[in-house]
Amino acid sequence: MKIVMLGAPGAGKGTQAKMIAQKYGIPHISTGDIFRANIKDGTKLGMEAKQYMDQGLLVPDELTVRILLDRVSNEDCKDGYVLDGFPRTIPQAEVLDEALVKLGDKIDFAINVDVPDENIIKRMSGRRACPGCGATYHTEHIPPKTEGICDVCGAALVLRDDDRPETVKNRLEVYYAQTQPLIAFYTEKGVMRTVDGTVPMEDVFAAITKILA
């Protein structure tokens, strides 16, 4: 099963993507995580991506697409995957589509986690991430057991550079201009499904599993 997660930054699609991956035993692929791992390791790719990420801008399609196609060609992706944060532009979606068509394959579902604009900024300012293991939290919705400390590895949680308020504004503008058109793209392909992202995360997940069942 090949799934694309859509939704504004802060809609909770990453959390849902991880839950889907666990339940269905398929890899969770986040281009944002791949970029952050490269930044942490100080790679050339990481240094290039960071310039864009820190401003809330998208990393250029050419670079992003190369990384994604390389990742999905791995053996662990042969039975499917859940993409989180990719595609983010129509050209990215087209390249993915073409690559899948060549393999006689396609995206089975695009799931839009729908959250109204007014909730988004509030949500993003509460996001916290673990620099150690990549786990994500929210001060209100998914608090760690001990404030400021990762449940999984015990590292001190941080507000990611790209979740800072000034960057959030840019990310939202980028989302509406470049990513939201993907809803029409996948609607046309007949695979678009929307879930209400304002309800508790277990209920969002229940709605998603109903779609995937």
Q: Which residues pair with 196 in a beta bridge?
A: 114
Site residues for ligand AMP, window 63-82 (CB under 6 A)? 64
Decide if residue 171 touches ligand AMP (CB under 6 A). yes
Catalytic (active site) residue 36: no
Cα 54 off chain centre by: 17
Question: Which residues 23-62 are close enough to bind ligand AMP by CB under 6 A?
Answer: 30-32, 35, 52-53, 56-59
The C-alpha atoms of residue 151 and residue 82 are separated, in whole angstroms, by 24
Q: Are 12 and 114 in contact (CB under 8 A)?
A: no
Please, which residue, 45 or 155, has the CB nearer to ligand AMP? 45
Angle in degrees, 0-180, between the axes of helices 61-72 and 31-40, rounded to the nearest 10: 100
Count the Cβ atoms, other than its own, within 10 Å of residue 121: 16
To the nearest whole angstrom, how small is the minimum distance from the Cβ of residue 63 to ligand AMP? 8
Closest by alpha carbon to 101, among 192, 24, 189?
Answer: 189
Candidates 7, 9, 134, 197; binder of ligand AMP (CB under 6 A) is 9
Q: Which residue in 2, 13, 36, 128 is the catalytic one?
A: 13
C-beta of 37: minimal distance to ligand AMP in Å?
Answer: 11
Contacting residues toward ligand AMP, per CB under 6 A? 9, 30-32, 35, 52-53, 56-59, 64, 85-88, 92, 162, 171
